[in-house]
Amino acid sequence: MDASFLLLLLALFSITLVTQGHAGGYLGKEKVTNLHFFFHDSISGDHPTSVLVARPKGTIVKYGNLLPFGTVYAIDDPLTEGPDLNSKVLGHAQGLYVSAGQDKRLLVLVLDFGFTSGEFNGSSLSVFSRNPVLETDRELAVVGGRGKFRLAGGFAELHTHSFNTSAGIAVVEYNITVFHYE
Ligand SMILES: *[C@@H]1O[C@H](CO)[C@@H](O)[C@H](O)[C@H]1NC(C)=O
Ligand SMILES: *[C@@H]1O[C@H](CO)[C@@H](O)[C@H](O)[C@H]1NC(C)=O
Ligand SMILES: *[C@@H]1O[C@H](CO)[C@@H](O)[C@H](O)[C@H]1NC(C)=O
């Protein structure tokens, strides 16, 4: 055996070790979890959960004053067990949404869904997705997570439960299917 062959063997062996180390050290078996909750977003009233951060210069009103193209909101929205805002709080969705449609009301979300109760208390899911809010049913991409949701991937199915456009209050039902490790 010459030296380069030995080096190659050594390199292969250490790659195997590193791979096993990752799987064994951090991750368990893959599993699928379904989550169900209601998301409450309020852009007005005494305690808005969603605040305007920036809007475009000048007036660009193609589809009304609610969320015109170019506006950016920061949110901290409660996630509850039922459609009633007073039902049990399961966590909060925090982050940004950008109104990113020129001709139709469409948001792009960059959100962390952090859970504060039950099995996933302290863990969170990362959502980065377009959200055509005017369609009653839509789907978002779940691109990652923290805690028990490390390396998570999946999707969220959304259904608008109610949308009071004059008050700017939306209640959205979420069913999330997420693949992650135990
Ligand atoms: C969630 O975890 C935090 C921090 O560990 C703890 O203080 C809190 O009591 C937990 N909440 C529930 C509902 O288990
Ligand atoms: C969520 O799943 C439940 C149970 O399967 C179903 O009744 C409900 O319509 C679903 N909602 C959404 C938004 O997918
Ligand atoms: C929308 O919200 C406003 C202000 O809170 C309220 O007066 C109105 O009744 C609500 N509309 C519906 C359809 O719930």
What is the pLDDT at residue 14?
Answer: 55
Q: Is 44 in the pocket of ligand 3 (CB under 6 A)?
A: no
Residue 29's contacts (CB-CB under 8 Å, 6 or more residues apart) are 181, 182
Q: How far is the CA of 159 from the centre of ligand 2 (A)?
A: 8
The residue behind tokens 């490790």 is 181
What is the pLDDT at residue 3?
Answer: 66
Quick one: which of 32, 15, 24 has its CA closest to 180? 32
What is the pLDDT at residue 25?
Answer: 56
Angstrom distance (rounded) from CA 159 to CA 138: 7
What is the pLDDT at residue 39?
Answer: 98
Site residues for ligand 1, CB cut-off 6 Å: 116-117, 121-122
The domain spans of the chain are 28-181
Q: Tell me which residue has its CA closest to atom 14 in ligand 1.
A: 117
Ligand 2 atom with the shortest distance to the CA of 137: 13
CATH class of 28-181: mainly beta
How many CB atoms neighbour CB 131 within 10 A? 21
Angstrom distance (rounded) from CA 95 to CA 116: 16
Q: Is the dihedral of CA 30, 20, 143, 120 positive or negative?
A: positive
pLDDT tens by residue, the chain, 182 residues: 566 666 666 565 555 444 444 444 567 889 999 999 999 999 887 789 999 999 988 766 777 777 889 999 999 999 999 999 999 999 999 999 999 999 888 999 999 999 999 999 999 999 999 999 989 999 999 999 999 999 999 999 999 999 998 888 999 999 999 999 97
Q: Tell me which residue has its CA closest to atom 5 in ligand 2.
A: 175
Q: Is 167 in the pocket of ligand 3 (CB under 6 A)?
A: yes
Q: How far is the CA of 43 from the centre of ligand 3 (A)?
A: 13
Which residue from 44, 46, 47, 164 has its CB within 8 A of the most atoms of ligand 3, so it is best to mutate? Answer: 164
